[in-house]
Chains A and B, each alone.
Chain A
Amino acid sequence: MELSPGSVNLASLSLPQLRSLQTRLTSELEHLTTSHAKLRAAQAKFRDCVRSINDGVTGSESKGTTGRDEILVPLTSSLYVKGRLTDREKVLVDVGTGFYVEKTPEKAIAFYDDKVKGLDENLVELEKIVQAKNSQLRVVEEVLRQKMLSGEGADAGAQSA
């Protein structure tokens, strides 16, 4: 692609070229931002799993869930039935692609913590890219504005008039 940053002098581009570069950067940025939001959501889900294990399966003093076996089991998102926790030593973890692995709560928490950490690394990488794209976009917009203000914008206006 001819638009790799740094190798092309932006000032040498014409107005339409700058505009298409601007739209491209904007759509790329949008795509990256949605990816970022998705990663954050996934991370929140894994954190929820850890919390559920800590509060529900292992039981926590402060929440008053230690040693209490009664739970409400969701049948649908709005319908629950009473249940009883019979096993606090084993949980079933979805490891992806339809496979579930039986783990101890400690191992399950380690698994989820690992996932959260991995996502954290991805998020940091992604943020760097978003920032770079953002500054690129700002530079392009700045050049575009200058061109519009200076002669070329007037020329283009005169031609289209």
Chain B
Amino acid sequence: MDAQKKIQAISDEFQQLQTELEGLVDARQKLESQQQENQGVQSEFAQLDDESNIYKMVGPVLLKQDKTEATMAVNGRLEFIEKEIKRIEKEIEEKQDKSEEKRSEMLQIQSQAQQQQAAAASA
């Protein structure tokens, strides 16, 4: 059956889109938790007085860091994460639109096939 093959192909594409969508949602979740952690550090730094000692873990050693330097690093990371989240959110939207398209395409072919069958039966 021609219609069945078409439906199969579209359903495969639909599945593909769904897995891609899942991957993107996972990525966004990871970014969000990173964002939260960085925001926590940022607010912690904001409460510190300027003399407090800040160290950064680099591999197996702790390196002493300037407060302004550390704050800048965290701010930079937050900026980057925000951009990434926006980018991924846009991709998620695109994928959702595409899979919605596929879904309606599938339904259309299905109803067409049903109509043809009904016509054939009544003829």
Residues on A close to B: CB < 8 A?
Answer: 92, 95-103, 111
Interface contact A101-B53, CB-CB below 8 Å: yes
Instruction: Choose from A95, A102, A103 the contact partner of B40 (Cβ within 8 Å).
Output: A95
Interface contact A100-B38, CB-CB below 8 Å: no
In the assembled complex, B13 has its CB within 8 A of some CB on chain A: no
Interface contact B40-A101, CB-CB below 8 Å: no
Q: Determine the chain B residues whose CB is within 8 A of the CB of A102 once the complex forms.
A: 52-55
**6 pairs of A and B residues whose beta carbons are closest in the complex:** A102-B53, A98-B57, A100-B55, A96-B37, A95-B44, A96-B41
Dominant SS among interface residues on chain A: strand
Interface contact A101-B48, CB-CB below 8 Å: yes
Interface contact B38-A101, CB-CB below 8 Å: no
Q: Determine the chain A residues whose CB is within 8 A of the CB of B62 once the complex forms.
A: 92, 100
- The CA-CA distance from A102 to B65 in the complex, in Å, is 11
Instruction: Choose from B52, B58, B65 the contact partner of A103 (Cβ within 8 Å).
Output: B52
A sample of 25 inter-chain contacts (CB < 8 A) reads A92-B62, A95-B41, A95-B44, A96-B38, A96-B40, A96-B44, A97-B38, A97-B77, A98-B56, A98-B57, A99-B41, A99-B45, A99-B56, A99-B57, A99-B65, A99-B74, A100-B55, A100-B62, A101-B48, A101-B52, A101-B54, A102-B52, A102-B54, A103-B52, A111-B44
Interface contact B74-A97, CB-CB below 8 Å: yes
Residues on B close to A: CB < 8 A?
Answer: 34, 37-38, 40-41, 44-45, 48, 52-58, 62, 65, 70, 74, 77
Q: State how many angstroms separate the Cβ of A121 from the closest Cβ of chain B.
A: 14
User: Other CB < 8 Å A-B pairs besides A96-B44, A98-B57, A100-B56, 13 of them?
Assistant: A97-B74, A98-B56, A99-B54, A99-B55, A99-B56, A99-B57, A100-B54, A101-B48, A101-B52, A101-B53, A101-B54, A101-B55, A102-B54
- The residue in chain B whose Cβ has the minimal distance to the Cβ of A115 is B40
Q: State how many angstroms separate the Cβ of B61 from the closest Cβ of chain A.
A: 11
- The CA-CA distance from A97 to B56 in the complex, in Å, is 9
Q: State how many angstroms separate the Cβ of B70 from the closest Cβ of chain A.
A: 6
Q: Determine the chain B residues whose CB is within 8 A of the CB of A103 once the complex forms.
A: 52
- The CA-CA distance from A99 to B57 in the complex, in Å, is 6
Q: Determine the chain A residues whose CB is within 8 A of the CB of B52 once the complex forms.
A: 101-103
Q: Determine the chain A residues whose CB is within 8 A of the CB of B55 once the complex forms.
A: 92, 99-102
- The CA-CA distance from A15 to B1 in the complex, in Å, is 29
Q: Determine the chain B residues whose CB is within 8 A of the CB of A96 once the complex forms.
A: 37-38, 40-41, 44
